[in-house]
Amino acid sequence: MEDAVSQLLENREDISQYGIARFFTEYFNSVRQGTHILFREFSFIQATPHNRASFLRTFWRCFRAVGKNGDLLTAKEYHCLLQLLCPDFPMELTQKAARIVLMDDAMDCLMSFSDFVFAFQIQFYYSEFLDSVAAIYQDLLTGKNPNTVIVPTSSSGQHRSRLAPSECSPLDGVEASLFYHCLESLCDRSKYSCPPSALVKEVLSSVQRLTFYGFLMALAKHHGINRALGALPDKGDLLLDPPMDQELEKLLSQVSGLSISTPAGSSGDIANLPTRISPRISSPWKPLHHCQKVNIESDGSTDETESSEN
């Protein structure tokens, strides 16, 4: 016994080193898989482009059932979902993402999952870029020459408030070619993540004039920008996640294969219980009294929102 204790004490340093190595192995595996952002503070999940993309991907995988069930939620309800993954996630970012979808409609209108998640992707991943775009747009509206490119600092994590279109712009917006000239310079000089300038040019070259939120909606709907970012699947595959579905099927098969023991004097009715568990898992947001159903084969356009039905 004493010899075993002595040997353990001698190997204490090796055990400690093994524990450290195991810790870092597990952590870097979680970074590679994108799960390291779970339940972390907002300052952490927005710290790097990888963390932001991981958070977007995790949000989609965790809550795609909202889209599969056809539920429509408000901005506050989507914010509650975000807080399940990041408790201090700021409401302001959620509202900005909702504004891209709703534009001039009331902020308590209902939104489909596909509409919200693609708008949220643009707002969250390119947050600093959009703050600078908003400032340039305001200068163009007021006739100023936006020669000074605004490059956000780390303090921009506090997210400046953004004026609604009805408060800052005429209905026809600004000239698209001039707007692109300013954004091209911004993309070249900004130290923060920006959409590929070629894709921004593609968006702006299709129109002569556009509003600020019209531009953001075009970014959110652009397949090329979504693929360049690489966090979410295409709209047609948004409700599909084969690896996750396989894991769920495996879990369900394990649960359904468990034997159920009964007392010796039971009536034997337990044999008549179903041997399979239904693969449909009810959404925890189904009881919401104002949820509406939409066609799950929709292309994810803003036609699914309540605002378009009114």
Tens-digit pLDDT string for the chain (310 aa): 455 445 545 555 555 666 788 877 888 888 888 889 999 999 999 999 999 999 999 999 999 989 888 999 999 999 999 999 999 999 999 999 999 999 877 888 999 999 999 999 999 999 999 999 999 999 999 888 775 545 554 444 444 444 444 444 456 899 999 999 999 999 988 889 999 999 999 999 999 999 999 999 999 999 999 999 999 999 988 988 777 777 767 777 777 766 444 444 444 444 444 444 344 444 444 444 444 444 444 444 545 555 444 4
Helix ranges (H only) for 126-268 are 127-141, 165-168, 176-189, 197-204, 212-221, 223-229, 242-256
- Write down the pLDDT at residue 33: 84
DSSP string of 94-153, one letter each residue: HHHHHHHHHTTS-TTS-EEHHHHHHHHHHHHHTHHHHHHHHHHHHHHHTT----S-----
Nearest Cα neighbor of 173 from 128, 147, 131, 204 is 204
**DSSP code of residue 73:** E
Q: What is the structure's pLDDT at 170? A: 55
DSSP state of 50: H
**Nearest alpha carbon to residue 305 among 113, 39, 96:** 113
d(CA 305, CA 252): 33
b/e map of 238-270 (b: 16 or more CB within 10 Å)? bbebeeeeeeeeeeeeeeeeeeeeeeeeeeeee
Contacting residues for 308 by C-beta, under 8 A, at least 6 apart = 302
The predicted structure's pLDDT at residue 274? 45
Q: What's the pLDDT score for residue 21? A: 81
d(CA 116, CA 122): 10
In angstroms, the Cα distances linking 30 to 40, 94, 250 are 13, 26, 22
Chain mean position to CA 230: 12
Query: What are residue 174's phi and psi, to 5 degrees?
Result: -120, 170
Chain centroid to CA 268: 49
CA torsion sign for 55, 60, 63, 67 is positive
In this structure, what are the phi and psi dihedrals at residue 189, rounded to the nearest 5 degrees?
-105, -15
- The alpha carbon of 111 is separated from its chain's Cα centroid by a whole number of angstroms, namely 14
Q: How far apart are CA 213 and CA 97, in angstroms?
A: 10
pTM over 0.75: no
pLDDT at 147: 59
Distance between CA atoms of 141 and 227, rounded to whole angstroms? Answer: 31
What is the DSSP pairing of strand 72-73 with strand 111-112? antiparallel
